[in-house]
Structure 1
Amino acid sequence: MANLRVHADRIEVHLTPTERALALRSADVVIQRDDIRSATITDDPWIWVRGIRRRGTEVPLVVAAGTWKYHGGLDFVAVKGKRQAVVLELAGGEFARLILSTSHAAELIDRLKLSAEETPAAED
């Protein structure tokens, strides 16, 4: 499974060598935290895969890795079996959505949340 690293300004999706080969991608996926509109945990990631595979590998209900094209843009998918996954809806950048299998979905969502101290106070 891909290794996700959450930083203050970005999220890095480090792909294993096998995932890189399956996704036909040489570079890791990096998204800016400001681009994340929503994050959802799902027990069935396959229902979130939309469009047609543009580049990558898919064996239905077994593995999907790569880029999927739909009428509104591109999604990046790294899904294995029926494992729990995180779906990140994005506002800008290379992809409109990331769908990633992870055994640490709840922890990832918690790390993405901003605490009240980090949120700027509104001024009148």
Structure 2
Amino acid sequence: MARLLVQNDDVVVRLSWREALLARRKGIRVPLTDVREAWVEPDWWRAMRGTGERGKWRPERFCTGTWRHAGGMDVVAVRGPGPVAVVDLFPGRRFARLSVSTADPEGAVQAVRLAAQRAREERSARGA
């Protein structure tokens, strides 16, 4: 199962070896300052938008890889059924959203929210 965690000044999606094989990448690293919002989506399929571009998916079971839509590209590593940790990023970034099924989506989202808020505060304090 994938993990969503905070390391230094980044949000990191670390894929399991099987997910990495399907997605053709080991993981994703995004700066905390790119995080716009984070929440838990109770229904895994609601976190999906657009169409699969790269990776593998099986309807009603799992989706791993990247999905393209009108607003950009999302990174997905979700399994049904169950809740998903969702991280929306500011427009103009490489990815628009990270959607990840994790063992503790509430804890992951809480960690991302707190770290992103701290990163924004530190950035504004340096700029002031």
TM range (shorter): 0.7 to 0.9
Greater relative contact order, per chain length (Cα 8 Å cut-off, separation 6+):
2
After TM superposition, give the deviation of residue 35 of structure 1 in Å. Answer: 0.4
What is the SS of the residue equivalent to 1:113? Answer: helix
Provide the TM-score with structure 2 as the length reference: 0.83
Specify every segment of 5 or more residues in structure 1 that has no aligned partner in the other structure, as ranges. none
> Does structure 1 retain, via aligned residues, the 8 Å contact 2:12–2:29?
yes
- In 2: Cα distance, 1:111 partner to 1:61 partner: 28
Residues matched between the structures, number: 120
- 2:21 is matched with 21
> Does structure 2 retain, via aligned residues, the 8 Å contact 1:57–1:66?
yes
The list of structure 1 runs, each at least 4 consecutive aligned residues, that deviate by more than 4 angstroms after superposition, is none
Percent of aligned positions with the same letter in both sequences? 35
After TM superposition, give the deviation of residue 66 of structure 1 in Å. Answer: 0.5
Provide the TM-score with structure 1 as the length reference: 0.85
- 1:72 is matched with 71
> Does structure 1 retain, via aligned residues, the 8 Å contact 2:3–2:100?
no
> Does structure 2 retain, via aligned residues, the 8 Å contact 1:83–1:103?
no
After TM superposition, give the deviation of residue 13 of structure 1 in Å. Answer: 1.1
Structure with the greater alpha carbon radius of gyration: 1
Matches within 5 A, 1:19-98: 19-23=19-23, 25-91=24-90, 92-98=92-98
- 1:105 is matched with 105
Amino acid at match of 1:39: A
> Does structure 2 retain, via aligned residues, the 8 Å contact 1:84–1:103?
no
> Does structure 2 retain, via aligned residues, the 8 Å contact 1:55–1:66?
yes
Specify every segment of 5 or more residues in structure 2 that has no aligned partner in the other structure, as ranges. none
CA RMSD of aligned residues (A): 2.1
Whether 2:16 is the aligned partner of 1:2: answer no
For each residue in 1:29-72, what CA deviation from the matched residue of structure 2 results, as whole angstroms up to 9, or x when unmatched? 10111001001101102022111111111111101001101112
